[in-house]
Amino acid sequence: EAGVAQSPRYKIIEKRQSVAFWCNPISGHATLYWYQQILGQGPKLLIQFQNNGVVDDSQLPKDRFSAERLKGVDSTLKIQPAKLEDSAVYLCASRASGRGYEQYFGPGTRLTVT
């Protein structure tokens, strides 16, 4: 079974530029998550989708971050404009519906904002 795919794996941009990340979850997983992991910290949830609807985006900085999950499969996370403090690894995870199912993480996109 293929895992969660993410691209790009690495991205370097200058502050005030825009960037987008892509995630393809495990086939059939209805729930998709985007996390931000700053060096030395645990992952922090940015947004959670159930199919193509948003379940929780309470920690998403909506003035600069946006995310969508069209057709309930792939998802994109965008930052516009980027700030230095956005330098982090952006992890996508997916989970099957129902209780007790594990979240599976993708390899992440390492963003450096200079």
Query: In terms of Cα–Cα distance, which of 13, 112, 16 is closest to 64?
Result: 16
Neighbouring-strand partners of residue 47: 34
How is residue 62 annotated by DSSP?
T
Least distance in Å: CB of 57 to other proteins?
A: 11
Stretch that binds other proteins, among 18-26, 43-51, 71-79, 80-88 (CB under 8 A): 43-51
H helices, E strands: number in the chain: 0, 11
Question: Binding residue for other proteins (CB under 8 A) from 15, 16, 55, 83?
Answer: 55
The 60-99 site mask, x for binding other proteins (CB under 8 A), equals -------------------------------x---x----
Which of 1, 2, 27, 41 touches other proteins by CB under 8 A?
41
Task: Quote the CA–CA distance of 60 and 26 in Å, as a whole number.
Answer: 23
